[in-house]
A and B are shown apart, each in its own frame.
Chain A
Amino acid sequence: MTFVSPSLPAAKPRQPNVYVDFCRQQPLGAVSFVIIVLMMFAGIFSPLVAPYDPLEIDFASLLAAPSADHWCGTDAYGRDICSRLIYGSRTALVIGFTSSFVGSTLGAILGIASAYFGGRIDDWIQRFVDILLAFPLIVLALVVVAAFRKFTVGGVDVNLIVAIAIPILPRVARVVRSAALSVRVMPYVDAARAVGYSHTRIIFRHMAPNVVAPYLIMLTAFIAQAILAEASLSFLGLGVTEPTAAWGLMLSGNAADFYRQAPWMILFPGIAISLAVFAFNLFGDSLRDFLDPRFKV
């Protein structure tokens, strides 16, 4: 029999709220999340937020210094840098998200399959992962971008996404495999096998949900890396091409010729890249501490 004192109101159990807990435990993570949301807002609503058309050439104000009219100054064609940065966040986010998602998801599936099947299949998948890992990141991207030239779907460079996603794949596969190995020996996996479920069903329904934490952590961390990779490739002239607004592209080409006259051409796009990557890195870091303090990437 339970006895509840009628005069005292029952202590209200605190509703567990993941978001509140996250903000409380990881203030830096919450700050970075705000930056990410702002960036997404700028990317989605670029035409409404941007003060100018990013492609509008204005010969009256070439290389104008930052002022009330042009917050971040203008470039060598008189284009408003602030507007180009806002439109650039769209490019960065689309490419960063897609390539990290594609790379991490394929990598995770490969990693789980490797752990689940074990034996010979595991050996083969691990050799394949080794080969991809031995292929240097930037070199792989250079070869893929150069090999498949220009191929766009809906204005997005597919070859660029592939180039950035491939190096992500083996890295995620490694980490997810080691996490999946411990799931593999769980009784419920044996039970599922005993019941006679198909391999696909076990992999997706029973194993995958249990490696979501490392997957999510890697996904956010690699969005940061992907944005960085996109910027580097665009800087080298292998990524997004003019006149599309992209941060890495804004630093490339003739930007370096104006070191003295227009340092803002170099300053602001770099700050944008750094801030975006910083936010995703910090968010990924806090997510890791929050979800799984023992997990190390």
Chain B
Amino acid sequence: MLRYTVNRVLLMIPTLLGVAVLVFFLLRVVPGDIVEIKLRGDGGSVTQETIDMERKRLGLDRPLLTQFGGWMVGMATLDFGNSMWTERPVVTEIAGRLELSLQVAIMATVVAVLLAIPMGTMAALFRDSWIDYTVRILTIGGLSIPSFWFGMLIMLTLLALFNWLPPITFTPIYVDPIANLTQLIWPALAVGYRYCAVVARMIRSSLLEVMNEDYIRTARAKGVYERLVIARHALRNALLPAITVIGLEFTFLIGGLVVTEQVFNLNGIGQLFVQSVSRNDFTLIQGMVMLIAAFYVFVNLAIDLLYAVFDPRIRYNA
């Protein structure tokens, strides 16, 4: 187990390195950089000299490999550089937005899991009944309705019923919990529907599989109440695959809220991403891609290790 863990952690390095190479060169193949957008953006005429000076100041005139090396060395010492646009450290820029994105992601997870467990369980227990069909249509609906449009519908309803529009500024939860929750519950619901659908489908199919296992028959044969059989024996095992999709969807939400944030006027990681891409803010884009990739890799590892913790039958051999 220890060997396996060490091995997996070591395997993260080439993956993250690959992501770094990919994003770094992808951004630089394209002609045009931040300097032009910054100085020529509003159509003002700027001499080539000024542009060259600004490039030099930002280090964009150095050879690509030197730039890449510099960035790598920086990251190894946990220095992600400064945003080329605001000049503030990338870490500060991201931290400010991460709070909001994380909170929405967590709230969406809570909503999704709370709804998905009963939905998935009922669908599996009453397979091919009207309950199963309803859940199936509801969950495929969740996979099909774009969450940004669902968000728009929520807004439309709130506007029509309560004349409520999302506030322009974000209130952190420790400042005013009620204002914070009323602001974030709607985007959380909008993305939570899809999330819930994914999890419920997974619970349904894995529960159906588990119900055929010998230990379920044994439990029933020895006279355990059906309710206990399901809660203790079946659901416990069926939830394992669900953990995987919960983890993956959660990482997706950290960077994937882009469109929903736009709809609800939220200044999260997604918006920051769109802004920095349109500004060609290389350092900031790189920092965010690395953050999201690292998050993904760690969550994946955590899931695999959790499997072994929850299911003693699973043993990893390095």
List chain A positions with a Cβ less than 8 A from chain B.
28, 127-128, 130-131, 133-139, 142-144, 146-149, 224, 228, 231-232, 235-236, 248, 251, 256, 259-260, 263, 266-267, 269-270, 273-275, 277-278, 281-282, 285, 296
Other-chain residue from A134, A228, A273 in contact with B297 (beta carbon distance below 8 A): A134
**Quick one: given A136-B296, A139-B273, are A259 and B159 in contact (CB under 8 Å)?**
yes
How long is the Cα–Cα vector from A131 to B18 in the complex, in angstroms?
6
Contacts A139-B289, A142-B277, A270-B153 known; A128 to B143 CB distance under 8 Å? Answer: no
List, in ascending order, chain A residues with CB within 8 A of B251's CB. Answer: 136
Interface of B is mostly: helix
- B15 on interface, CB distance cutoff 8 Å: yes
Whether, in the assembled complex, B255 has its beta carbon less than 8 Å from a beta carbon of chain A, the answer is yes
Q: Are B292 and A136 in contact (CB under 8 A)?
A: yes
Whole-angstrom distance between the alpha carbons of A83 and B145 in the complex?
Answer: 21
The interface residues of chain A lying within 8 Å CB-to-CB of B145 are 270, 273-274, 277-278
Q: Does B140 contact A (CB under 8 A)?
A: yes
B-chain residues with CB within 8 Å of residue A143 when the two chains form the complex: 23, 26-27, 277, 285, 289
Known: A135-B293, A138-B258, A142-B274. A282 touches B140 (CB 8 A): yes
From known contacts A236-B262, A278-B140, infer whether A270 and B26 are also in contact, taking CB-CB under 8 Å: no
Number of residue pairs A-B, CB distance < 8 angstroms? 131
Inter-chain pairs besides A131-B19, A142-B258, A224-B144, 19 sampled, C-beta below 8 Å: A28-B137, A127-B15, A134-B292, A136-B251, A136-B293, A137-B256, A138-B255, A138-B256, A143-B23, A146-B277, A236-B259, A256-B152, A266-B153, A270-B145, A270-B149, A270-B152, A275-B144, A278-B140, A278-B144
Cross-chain contact B19 with A135 (CB below 8 angstroms): yes
**Contact at B143–A232, with CB atoms within 8 Å?**
no
Does the CB pair A133–B296 fall under 8 Å?
A: yes
Q: Check A274–B144 contact: CB distance below 8 A.
A: yes
Which B positions have Cβ atoms within 8 angstroms of A?
Answer: 14-16, 18-19, 22-23, 26-27, 29-30, 133, 136-137, 140-141, 143-146, 148-149, 152-153, 155-156, 159, 205, 251-252, 254-256, 258-259, 262-263, 270, 273-274, 277-278, 285, 288-289, 292-293, 296-297
Q: Which of A131, A270, A281 is packed against the most chain B CB atoms within 10 Å?
A: A131
* Complex Cα spacing A144 to B14, Å: 22
CA distance A235 to B151 in the complex (A): 13
**B15 & A131 in contact (Cβ 8 Å cutoff):** yes
Report how far A248 CA is from B285 CA in the complex, Å: 25
Q: Which residue on B lies nearest to A248, using beta carbons?
A: B146
Q: Which residues of A contact B23 (CB under 8 A)?
A: 135, 143
CB of A285, distance to nearest CB on chain B (Å): 7
Q: Could you say which residues of chain A place their CB within 8 Å of the CB of B296?
A: 133-134, 136
Judging by beta carbons under 8 Å apart, are A270 and B146 in contact? Answer: yes
Q: Could you tell me if A134 and B146 are in contact, using CB atoms closer than 8 angstroms?
A: no
Which residues on B sit within 8 Å (CB–CB) of A147?
A: 26-27, 29-30
Contacts of B254 in A (CB 8 A): 136
Tell me whether A273 and B149 are in contact (CB under 8 A).
yes
A146 near B278: Cβ-Cβ < 8 Å: yes
Taking CB as reference atom, which chain B residue is nearest A280?
Answer: B144
Instruction: Enumerate chain A residues within 8 angstroms of B278, measured Cβ to Cβ.
Output: 146
A130, A231, A270, A285, most chain B CB atoms within 10 A: A130
- Cβ of A259 and Cβ of B146 under 8 Å apart? no
* Distance of A14 Cα from B54 Cα, bound (Å): 79
A136 with B27, Cβ < 8 A, contacts A130-B15, A259-B156 known = no
Report the minimum CB–CB distance from B8 to chain A (whole Å).
11
B141 in complex: contacting residue of A137, A251, A274, A285, CB < 8 Å:
A274
Chain A proximity of B200: nearest CB distance (Å): 13
Q: A143-B27, A146-B277 are in contact. Are A135 and B146 (CB under 8 A)?
A: no
Asked if B148 contacts A232 (CB within 8 A), the reply is yes
For B262, list chain A residues within 8 Å (CB): 235-236
Chain A nearest CB, measured from B252 CB (Å):
7
A16 to chain B, nearest CB (A): 24
How far, in whole Å, are A66 and B13 apart by their CA atoms in the complex? 57
- Please judge, given known A-B contacts A135-B289, A142-B274, A270-B152, whether A128 and B256 are in contact too, CB under 8 Å: no
Among residues of A, the one whose C-beta sits closest to the C-beta of B159 is A259
Nearest Cβ in chain B — how far from A174, in angstroms? 12
- Which chain A residue lies CB-closest to B165? A259
CA distance A130 to B301 in the complex (A): 12
19 contacts between A and B (CB under 8 A): A128-B18, A130-B18, A131-B19, A134-B15, A136-B293, A139-B256, A142-B274, A144-B26, A147-B26, A147-B29, A232-B258, A236-B262, A248-B146, A251-B149, A256-B152, A274-B146, A275-B144, A277-B146, A278-B140
